[in-house]
Chains A and B, each alone.
Chain A
Amino acid sequence: MAELANPNPTVFEPTHDPLKGRTDAERVAEDDEDAEDPIDAWEVFEIIRRIRDPEHPNSLEQLKVVEPSLITVDWKKRHIRVLFTPTVPHCSLTTLIGLSIRLQLERSLPEYTKVDIYVTPGTHEQEAQVNKQLNDKERVAAALENCNLLNVVESCINEFDE
């Protein structure tokens, strides 16, 4: 079979405390039933953390590809920005990981949320090219009409669904 993009990833233990990392204001908003309950970075993280790596039986959270501290939410503008960190700088599956994140968010977030997805700066050799592809919505739409590619993305999204 083909050589692995990253044969030896580092695996981390997932966080167990769902409230850890939230600001005090975010905790208060979560308990206030009258508030609109704006989406925060932690909720976005919950949506994508269980996506499976394309070539390993580990989640993006376990490989520290996604982390709540790398997610920015401006809910007034319905805008979310996600940085993700490929496991190796030359990872050839980086675009596929980005597509998985994008499709999962598109399905789980309120309709018409603006999502920008970028490689964490300095973590990939082809950062600019990958970023441009992942944020060209026409190219993304065309890619997801490709059944073979869509099936691969779906399998990454559905593997660890609870």
Chain B
Amino acid sequence: MEGSRTSDGTALATAPPLLLPSSAPQGVQVRRTAALRGHKDRVWCVRWCPTAPVLASCSGDTTVKFWGRSRSAENGCEAWTCLGTLEGEHSRTIRHISWSPSGEYISCASFDHTATVWRRNGGDDGYGFEIEGVLDGHESEVKCVEWATDSMLVTSARDRTAWIWERVDEGEYECGGVLTGHAQDVKHCQFVLPHNDGDVPLVVTCGYDDTIKVWSEGHHHDDWQCVQTMAAHEATVWATALQKLEVPMELVRASHASHAPLPQPLLCSCSDDLSIIFWKRDAEGRFVEAARISGFAERSLFDVDWAPHNAPVVACASGDNSFSLLGVYEDETGVHTCTLARVADAHLADVNSVSFASQGTLTACNAEGEKTGILLATAGDDNVIHLWTVSAETE
């Protein structure tokens, strides 16, 4: 429907639509593909490169490792191997890693109170990075780091703050704002970039005070203000994840022609209260609860990630050694969510992180007709990373 009008003809703002199927997604099949061993302590976070089939992992052993497929010299079989290791820069646990949008940089958040930025150096032998900058300012363990663009990041820490960083020159970063307001540890932070004219960049943070906060840069540069606090979770909020939306060109054209807003991505959050909440934005841009699901896990929910290319599927990591795949859809009554699969005993210990690869689709097959689907990486307290192939069930 079109936006409604007041009596004087002024258009009322309309909430951006969602891009979701109108019925529950079909079931998925999950197949274990590889086990990546090499870390000497629990693996806290895994993230796929946005532009290449390479996985980065970080650990309590203070290293970051890169994993990719390579052909074995002796038998010609392709296998997942460690392509390289970053070490020596952090003296304590590396808790979180994040790739810049181009895949040229990777950043690490550490319990040593700093985050580092590494730049890809194209050595023709290994898969290499060299350290480019140190983000030093937090007073305690840094829990998370995420990029907005290749030159802008946000970090969050146990000191209750999140910091905006901007690269002002090669290897040189300046603080572009300190976000204060959380009552305890800030477990996770991320940017929400504009989708429509009039939208402004936002930062979303969440943490130990059971809340999610939304921040916006005020009229003055570097003046970030909290514009909303969501207090729907009843325990620590461990992470948020934004839907990876790719708006089809025909929708862009239709939106432009009718002056209607473009589809918006859903945000989801996971918590120690064993629930995931899906958030959408209303006409004024405020986040409102769209759906909530619980009952699929028995212990803490530590991480959540959306499948790529508009697939309405979310993966969730749990402290009960399992991960689950949840489907999202929207019918005339609203947004709904359902459990598509639960992989019990995925790890011998807590599952800390889930990450969908950037390539692949749920329905993809190879030349032999085998389902290739999308790769999902999981990381655990058992020091192991597992790779899984997630594909749509055939009817």
Q: Does B185 contact A (CB under 8 A)?
A: yes
Tally of contact residues, A, Cβ under 8 A: 11
B residues in contact with A35, CB < 8 Å: none
CA distance A111 to B348 in the complex (A): 9
Say yes or no: A138 contacts B348, CB within 8 Å.
no
> Which one of A112, A137, A138, A145 lies within 8 Å of B143 (CB-CB)?
A138
Q: Does B150 contact A (CB under 8 A)?
A: no
CA distance A112 to B381 in the complex (A): 8
Say yes or no: A112 contacts B60, CB within 8 Å.
no
23 contacts between A and B (CB under 8 A): A111-B349, A112-B348, A112-B381, A112-B382, A132-B208, A132-B235, A132-B236, A136-B208, A136-B236, A137-B319, A137-B350, A137-B381, A138-B95, A138-B143, A139-B158, A139-B185, A139-B208, A141-B42, A141-B93, A142-B92, A142-B93, A145-B92, A145-B93
Extra inter-chain contacts (19) besides given A137-B350, A141-B111, CB under 8 Å: A111-B348, A111-B349, A112-B348, A112-B349, A112-B382, A114-B319, A132-B235, A136-B208, A137-B319, A138-B143, A138-B187, A139-B158, A139-B208, A141-B60, A141-B93, A142-B92, A142-B93, A142-B141, A145-B92
| Proximity bits, B33-45, A CB within 8 Å = 1, else 0 | 0000000001000
Say yes or no: B348 contacts A142, CB within 8 Å.
no
User: B residues engaging A (CB < 8 A)?
Assistant: 42, 60, 92-93, 95, 111, 141, 143, 158, 185, 187, 208, 235-236, 299, 319, 348-350, 381-382
A residues in contact with B299, CB < 8 Å: 114
Closest Cβ–Cβ distance, residue B149 to chain A (whole Å): 28
Q: How many Cβ-Cβ contacts under 8 Å join chain A to chain B?
A: 34
Closest Cβ–Cβ distance, residue A145 to chain B (whole Å): 5
Closest Cβ–Cβ distance, residue B318 to chain A (whole Å): 12
3 A-B pairs with the lowest CB-CB distances in the bound complex, closest first: A112-B349, A142-B141, A112-B348
Q: A112-B348, A136-B208, A138-B143 in contact; A145/B382 too (CB < 8 A)?
A: no
Closest Cβ–Cβ distance, residue B230 to chain A (whole Å): 19
B residues in contact with A136, CB < 8 Å: 208, 236
Closest Cβ–Cβ distance, residue B199 to chain A (whole Å): 33
A residues in contact with B185, CB < 8 Å: 139
The residue in chain A whose Cβ has the minimal distance to the Cβ of B238 is A138
A residues in contact with B381, CB < 8 Å: 112, 137
CA distance A112 to B346 in the complex (A): 13
A residues in contact with B348, CB < 8 Å: 111-112
A residues in contact with B42, CB < 8 Å: 141
Closest Cβ–Cβ distance, residue B345 to chain A (whole Å): 11
| Proximity bits, A111-138, B CB within 8 Å = 1, else 0 | 1101000000000000000001000111
A residues in contact with B350, CB < 8 Å: 137
A residues in contact with B158, CB < 8 Å: 139, 142
Closest Cβ–Cβ distance, residue B172 to chain A (whole Å): 29
CA distance A139 to B158 in the complex (A): 9
The residue in chain A whose Cβ has the minimal distance to the Cβ of B141 is A142
A residues in contact with B382, CB < 8 Å: 112
Closest Cβ–Cβ distance, residue A3 to chain B (whole Å): 27
| Proximity bits, A68-105, B CB within 8 Å = 1, else 0 | 00000000000000000000000000000000000000
